[in-house]
Structure 1
Amino acid sequence: MGRVMVRLCFSVLLLLTVAVSKGDAAIAKYGKKVKCQNKAYPDCYHLNLYCPSDCPHYYCDKPGAVCQDPRFIGGDGITFYFHGKKDQDFCLVSDSNLHINAHFIGKRNENMTRDFTWVQSLGILFDDHQLYIGTKKTATWDDSIDQLALAFDGEPIYLPGGQGVNWQPSMSPGVSITRLDTNAVSIEVEGNFKIKAVVVPITEKDSRIHNYGVTEDDCLAHLDLSFKFYSLSGDVNGVLGQTYASNYVSRVKVGVAMPVLGGEKKFGTSRLFATDCAVTQFTGHVAGGDSSKNYEYANLNCASGMDGRGVVCKR
Structure 2
Amino acid sequence: MATLGFCCVVIFSLLFVKGGQADLYGSTPPPPPDSVSGKDFPQSVLCNDPQSKCFGAQISCPSQCPSFKPSNSQDKACFVDCNSRNCEALCKRRRPNCNGIGAACYDPRFVGGDGVMFYFHGKTNEQFSLVSDVDFHINARFIGRRPQGRTRDNTWIQALGLMFGPHTLTLAANKVARWDNEVDQLVLTYDGKPLLLPPGQLSAWTAPDGRLFVERTAKFNSVTVLLHGSVEISVNAVPVTKEDDRIHKYQIPDDDCFAHLEAQFKFLRLSDQVEGVLGQTYRPGYRSPVKRGVSMPIMGGEDKYKTSSLISADCKYCIFSMPDSQTAMIKSIVLDPSMAMIDCTSKISPGHGLVCRR
TM bracket (short chain): 0.7 to 0.9
Q: How far, CA to CA, are the matches of 1:202 and 1:219 in structure 2?
A: 6
Deviations 1:274-304 (A, max 9, x none): 11111111027874521132343277869xx
1:212-231 to structure 2, matched below 5 A, reads: 212-231=250-269
**How far apart are residue 273 of structure 1 and its match?**
0.9
Name the SS of the counterpart of 2:340 in structure 1: coil
Structure-1 residue corresponding to 2:242? 204
Q: Is the 1:125–1:273 Cα contact (8 Å) retained in structure 2?
A: yes
Structure-2 residue corresponding to 1:144? 182
Q: Does 1:167 align with 2:239?
A: no
Name the SS of the counterpart of 2:268 in structure 1: strand
**How far apart are residue 57 of structure 1 and its match?**
9.9
**How far apart are residue 239 of structure 1 and its match?**
0.5
Evaluate the alpha carbon distance shift between residue 208 and residue 110 of structure 1 in structure 2; reply closer, same or farther with a 3 A threshold. Answer: same
Percentage of matched positions with identical amino acids = 44
Q: Does 1:297 align with 2:340?
A: yes
Q: Is the 1:67–1:301 Cα contact (8 Å) retained in structure 2?
A: no
Q: Does 1:269 align with 2:307?
A: yes
Deviations 1:173-194 (A, max 9, x none): 1210000111100000110110
Structure 1: tracts of 5 or more residues without a match: 1-55, 303-312
Q: Does 1:100 align with 2:138?
A: yes
Q: Is the 1:80–1:260 Cα contact (8 Å) retained in structure 2?
A: yes
Name the SS of the counterpart of 1:66 in structure 2: strand
Provide runs of 4+ in structure 1 moved above 2 Å: 56-64, 283-289, 292-302
196-205 vs 248-257, which deviates more? 248-257
Q: How far, CA to CA, are the matches of 2:148 and 2:302 in structure 1?
A: 21
64-73 vs 248-257, which deviates more? 248-257
1:1-315 to structure 2, matched below 5 A, reads: 59=97, 62-170=100-208, 172-181=209-218, 182-283=220-321, 287=328, 288-295=330-337, 296-297=339-340
Q: TM-score, with normalisation over the residues of structure 2?
A: 0.65
Q: Is the 1:85–1:114 Cα contact (8 Å) retained in structure 2?
A: no
Evaluate the alpha carbon distance shift between residue 83 and residue 214 of structure 1 in structure 2; reply closer, same or farther with a 3 A threshold. Answer: same
Structure 2: tracts of 5 or more residues without a match: 1-93, 346-355
Q: Is the 1:199–1:222 Cα contact (8 Å) retained in structure 2?
A: yes
Evaluate the alpha carbon distance shift between residue 299 and residue 150 of structure 1 in structure 2; reply closer, same or farther with a 3 A threshold. Answer: farther
Q: How far, CA to CA, are the matches of 1:225 and 1:153 in structure 2?
A: 21
Q: Is the 2:146–2:152 Cα contact (8 Å) retained in structure 1?
A: yes
**How far apart are residue 241 of structure 1 and its match?**
0.5
**How far apart are residue 123 of structure 1 and its match?**
0.9
Q: How far, CA to CA, are the matches of 1:214 and 1:256 in structure 2?
A: 26
Q: Is the 1:196–1:225 Cα contact (8 Å) retained in structure 2?
A: yes
Name the amino acid aligned to 1:292. Answer: V
Q: Is the 2:118–2:299 Cα contact (8 Å) retained in structure 1?
A: yes
Q: TM-score, with normalisation over the residues of structure 1?
A: 0.74
Name the amino acid aligned to 1:179. Answer: R
Name the SS of the counterpart of 1:242 in structure 2: helix
- Give the RMSD, CA atoms, in angstroms: 2.4
Q: How far, CA to CA, are the matches of 1:69 and 1:80 in structure 2?
A: 11
Name the amino acid aligned to 2:273. Answer: D
Evaluate the alpha carbon distance shift between residue 84 and residue 161 of structure 1 in structure 2; reply closer, same or farther with a 3 A threshold. Answer: same
Which gives a bigger RCO, structure 1 or 2 (Cα 8 Å, sep 6+)? 1
